[in-house]
Structure 1
Amino acid sequence: MSTTSRLLTPDTSAAPAGVPPERRFPAGRAWARVRHVALPSGSLLLFLVLWQLLAASGTWSETLVPPPAKVWDAFVAVSTTHDGVRGYNGTTLVEHLGISLRRIAIGAGLGIALGVVSGLLMGTVGWLRSLFEPWITFLRTLPPLAYFSLLVIWLGINEEPKITLLAVAAFPPVAVSTTTAVAAVSRSLIEAARALGASRWDVVRDVIVPSALPETLTGVRLAVGVAYSSLVAAELVNGLPGIGGMVKDAANYNNTPVVLVGIIAIGVSGLIIDGLLLRLERAVVPWRGRA
């Protein structure tokens, strides 16, 4: 081997075969961690600077584009008791958010459970898929506001229409992803299980469900995202207390700082929940992306 070839060929003799590159090169792993934190932090700082410059430019009034300091003051005001006023409409930000998260947990939870069951049935029984898939696609294309008024007429203005809307919004993504994943399970695996004496239930439990689980969990993440995007719509009517109701009520009075506080709270909590779901996915299906 020439000198040039030796220089261009990486030296892997120092580490055994199969060791990941990040374990071979600790410095590279440390830089990756720093970059993972620095890039989001830098983008956030840049966003705040641009926001402040835009607010200070006077292009729009502070009613339309309040500076970050005013939004921070609104955050403190709705999170504490200030001058005898507790939070927003007598409820703190954390309480508003907690009530909305409870609605999402119940509504999206029902929609996800129904979606998984429906997806398993439609993926394994062909005529059920032909019967119900067009209706699920029709439901998936409808924006929440299109049927929320109808739910209010049917169910009143209390919790029922809100939870129902979130359930209906979360149902289609899970049903579609589960149906597609079940239908794509290798026939050879199913036939091998049956040849070994597995019953229909054994095939579903030991072959179909594990094979479809990665795509089903992706559908769950999508469903939670859709439920979050439908939150403000769900709380349009009698939504206080609730973070979406707070945003809607503040918008009625042109209280832009409180509106932005509510939007940021929804977004940040959504990021946290999506991160937890991603961790759950990695724990439940660690083979995804490696097989």
Structure 2
Amino acid sequence: MSETLARRAPAAPTRPRAARSALAPAPGSRGRWLRRAGRAVLPLLSVLVFLGLWQLAAASGLWNEIFVPYPATVWRAAVDASTTHDGVRGYQGYLLWEHLYMTLRRVAAGVVIGVAVGVALGLAMGTVGWLRRILEPWLTFLRALPPLAYFFLLVIWLGIDEAPKIALLALAALPPAAVATTAAVLAAPVGLIEAARALGASRAQVIRDVVVPAALPETFTGVRLAVGIAYSSVVATELFNGLPGVGGMVKDASNYNNTPVVLVGIFAIGLSGLVIDALLRVAERRAVPWRGKV
């Protein structure tokens, strides 16, 4: 009897599958939201912790304020360097954005030249063995030199205007781009190269259609390293006649123990470097969408 009633009893109404999926949260959506929130909150939290420790260090009295100024003092120096106040325009007659613009212009010119030559050299060295054996020791020698080691020589040769600054940044950016491109070309999949040759591709077609796409991910890594090394050398390039320029501003302020302005310059270089690296990451994702997927 109970089995008969059970068979005759109407089934409980059920929602359509589409309706249930629309009402229920997508699987993993909460985890994705938490990850996104963590990516935004954790950097902000680290900044707040840094500012708190800085404030405590300045207020402790262990160091003179000339050496460890308060964060508020550095903020006022940044505002003064960015505006016209009491008849004084920025720092040494230039606003902060003008200093930063000149520095970025020098970095851009040097990096474009250094990366272009470095990538071309790396491609040639990766495909021509005898050329690699000739140039590799010279690249290693140049990569081991700190920028200041040859900057004074560039000043003697090229003067104190823009030429030695751009030349130094280009020489700083060239070795990492060349080395990374060479390694990437040498690591191109042999199977794909042999398959292309078996299908009748010429040497130029193999390089263009197989080697270059395979080398692009590591080449972008080399470009990012080149930009970082060139950017870290920018203060050295602006030791002479560096105004306007963030490095020249830092050098000039250090002559007068103006620590707040020095810190403003350091933060300007560091923050703009973060922005540049983020833009390079976006360009890498657009240009090499297959990275990590093959």
Q: TM-score, normalised by structure 2?
A: 0.91
Tell me the residue number matched to 1:258. 261
> Aligned to 1:51, what secondary structure does the other structure show?
helix
Larger radius of gyration: 2
Name the CA distance, whole Å, in 2 between partners of 1:66 and 1:73. Answer: 11
Question: Residues 235 and 242 of structure 1 are in contact (CA less than 8 Å); yes or no, is this contact kept in structure 2?
Answer: yes
Residue 94 (structure 2) aligned to one of 88, 91, 95: 91
Q: CA deviation digits over 1:192-223, x for unaligned, max 9?
A: 11221212211111011000000000000000
Deviation at 1:187, TM superposition (A): 2.1
Tell me the residue number matched to 1:280. 283
What are the ranges of 5 or more consecutive residues in structure 2 without an aligned counterpart?
1-16, 18-24
Q: CA deviation digits over 1:32-59, x for unaligned, max 9?
A: 1111111000110010010000001111
> Aligned to 1:111, what secondary structure does the other structure show?
helix
Letter matched to residue 196 of structure 1: L
Deviation at 1:290, TM superposition (A): 2.3
Name the CA distance, whole Å, in 2 between partners of 1:154 and 1:193. Answer: 48
Tell me the residue number matched to 1:8. none
> Aligned to 1:236, what secondary structure does the other structure show?
coil
Q: Given the alignment of the two structures, is residue 227 of structure 1 paired with residue 269 of structure 2, yes or no?
A: no
Q: Given the alignment of the two structures, is residue 246 of structure 1 paired with residue 249 of structure 2, yes or no?
A: yes
What are the ranges of 5 or more consecutive residues in structure 1 without an aligned counterpart?
1-13, 15-21
Deviation at 1:79, TM superposition (A): 0.3
Q: Given the alignment of the two structures, is residue 30 of structure 1 paired with residue 43 of structure 2, yes or no?
A: no
Question: Residues 170 and 224 of structure 1 are in contact (CA less than 8 Å); yes or no, is this contact kept in structure 2?
Answer: yes
Q: Percent identity?
A: 67
Q: Which runs of 4+ in 1 moved over 3 A?
A: none
> Aligned to 1:287, what secondary structure does the other structure show?
coil
Tell me the residue number matched to 1:18. none
Deviation at 1:71, TM superposition (A): 0.1
Residue 177 (structure 2) aligned to one of 174, 177, 183: 174
Letter matched to residue 76 of structure 2: D
Letter matched to residue 122 of structure 2: G
Tell me the residue number matched to 2:83. 80
Tell me the residue number matched to 2:135. 132
Q: Given the alignment of the two structures, is residue 192 of structure 1 paired with residue 204 of structure 2, yes or no?
A: no
Residue 163 (structure 2) aligned to one of 160, 164, 167: 160
Name the CA distance, whole Å, in 2 between partners of 1:23 and 1:223. Answer: 42
Name the CA distance, whole Å, in 2 between partners of 1:123 and 1:48. Answer: 47
Letter matched to residue 210 of structure 1: P
Q: TM-score, normalised by structure 1?
A: 0.91
| Residue correspondences, number | 272
Q: Given the alignment of the two structures, is residue 102 of structure 1 paired with residue 116 of structure 2, yes or no?
A: no
Q: Given the alignment of the two structures, is residue 112 of structure 1 paired with residue 137 of structure 2, yes or no?
A: no
Residue 210 (structure 1) aligned to one of 209, 213, 230: 213
Name the CA distance, whole Å, in 2 between partners of 1:250 and 1:198. Answer: 60
Tell me the residue number matched to 2:57. 54
Question: Residues 23 and 29 of structure 1 are in contact (CA less than 8 Å); yes or no, is this contact kept in structure 2?
Answer: no
Name the CA distance, whole Å, in 1 between partners of 2:26 and 2:290. Answer: 20
Letter matched to residue 32 of structure 1: R
Deviation at 1:287, TM superposition (A): 1.6
User: RMSD over aligned Cα, in angstroms?
Assistant: 1.4
